Amino acid sequence: MTTIIPFGPQHPVLPEPVSLKLEIDNDVVVGVLPSLGYVHRGLEKFIDTKDYNQTLYICERICGICSALHGVTYARAVEKLFDVEVPERAQYLRVIWGELNRIHSHLLWLGLFADGFGFESLFYECWKYRESVLDIMEMTVGNRVIHSMAKVGGTSKDLSKEHIDLILKTLDTLEPKIKDIEKVFVNNYTVKKRLVGLATMSKQLAYEAGTAGPTLRGSGNAIDVRETEDWDIYRDLDFKPVVEKDGDCYARTKVRIGELYESIKLVRNAISKLPNGEIAVPIKGSPTGEAIMRCEMPRGEVVYYVKGKGTKNLERLKIRTPTFANIPSLLLTLPGAKLADVPIIVLTIDPCISCTER
């Protein structure tokens, strides 16, 4: 006989509300039904009353964790409509702040994950190190969470020599700290016991399930939007996707840890190659036509669709966020799992409900 157990919307491991109705048979999940709608904000409707520049500020507020990259992706989508190339310096600046965004997002997730399996001090360590990246954001753009550095046509902020010194010094301090916490996540007996072999998705299954980001790459799929022609700049920065083959919770964790080092490398490379020059080009007129822009957010690929109608307002903005792509995979990975492992499995898709419900 099966029992229905609600997981969420309020749960110690969930920083945001989402509910899973779990069908349990003898402590094992046999069915799952996700329920959303607790924080839906209707932002795709809200932009009806905003012009295309104001819409950027709405997009930045879709998520407090990957705010910078939402702004950049929206700006790039609208720039496609205008068919404008932003200055090279602005492209590099976007990479620097975008990758710093990824570092603090992954450190946030590692902390939440450590908390999820009961390692409280590790949770504190991860969040303490994340603070140093938020400090960089505050010093360089004036805000810790909503960065407002992207604009249609380039960036609205620049980096000074002092800012660059601060970033490099912070990363030099941060990197060995990440190596310290990595030892626990990767080598600790208890952590491995909880994660290895848990909620495994084969390469094929993760691909066909439409998953994105570390969830996809943790199953051996070397797919990262930073390799696409829309993001040519990453080729100059020696970017390589981080991929793990095993497809379990442990593999997804290792992908995110590997991406911390990759992002640190990208920031350093971007700074070393940062060209002089303008940070924005003026944009005139109103957008027309349709465009799609993708970006690799910390949680995976985001898809922006924009349609202009020759007025200041967009006719349609549609955003497919990475968690939206990853939630259906829970229908495949949770059945067969023990009830006690559900929080860990859910956390390994790094769910962002704020993004999902826009």
Considering only residues 250 to 289 of the shown chain, the ones binding another protein according to CB under 8 A are: none
Asked if 45 touches another protein (CB under 8 A), the answer is yes
Tokens 């068919």, residue located: 83
Of the residues 2, 40, 118, 285, which one makes contact with another protein according to CB under 8 A: 40
Considering only residues 76 to 135 of the shown chain, the ones binding another protein according to CB under 8 A are: none
Asked if 292 touches another protein (CB under 8 A), the answer is yes
By DSSP bridging, strand 300-309 and strand 154-155 are: unpaired
Q: Which stretch binds another protein (CB under 8 A): 41-49, 81-89, 145-153, 173-181?
A: 41-49
306 alpha carbon, distance to own chain's centre: 20
Closer CB to another protein, 21 or 144, in the complex: 21
Considering only residues 186 to 245 of the shown chain, the ones binding another protein according to CB under 8 A are: 207-211, 223, 225, 227-229
Closer CB to another protein, 7 or 119, in the complex: 7
Q: How far is CA 143 from CA 37, 139, 165, 210, 288, in A?
A: 29, 8, 19, 34, 32
Asked if 305 touches another protein (CB under 8 A), the answer is yes
Minimum CB separation from another protein for residue 194, in Å? 27
Asked if 51 touches another protein (CB under 8 A), the answer is no
Cα 246 to Cα 251: distance, rounded to the nearest angstrom:
6
Q: How far is CA 108 from CA 122, 186, 272, in A?
A: 11, 17, 27
By DSSP bridging, strand 288-297 and strand 150-151 are: unpaired
Closer CB to another protein, 5 or 292, in the complex: 292
DSSP letter, residue 80: H
Q: What residues pair up with 262 in beta bridges, in sequence order?
A: none
Give, to the nearest 10 degrees, the angle between helix 67-82 and helix 88-116: 150
Minimum CB separation from another protein for residue 329, in Å? 8
Minimum CB separation from another protein for residue 26, in Å? 24
Size of the site for another protein (CB under 8 A): 36
Of the residues 16, 315, 335, 339, which one makes contact with another protein according to CB under 8 A: 315
**Residue 3 backbone phi and psi in degrees, to 5:** -125, 145
Minimum CB separation from another protein for residue 180, in Å? 36
Asked if 291 touches another protein (CB under 8 A), the answer is yes
* C-alpha dihedral, 198 to 199 to 200 to 206, nearest 10°: -150
Q: Which secondary structure element, helix H or strand E, spans residue 51, and what is its range?
A: none
Query: What is the residue type of 304?
Result: Y
Give, to the nearest 10 degrees, the angle between helix 161-187 and helix 88-116: 30
Of the residues 37, 142, 285, 336, which one makes contact with another protein according to CB under 8 A: 37
Of the residues 197, 275, 328, 336, which one makes contact with another protein according to CB under 8 A: 328
- The total of other beta-carbon atoms located within 10 Å of residue 312's CB is 15
Contact positions vs another protein (CB under 8 A): 33, 36-37, 40, 42, 44-45, 207-211, 223, 225, 227-229, 290-292, 301, 303, 305, 307, 315-316, 318, 320, 324-325, 327-329, 331-332, 357
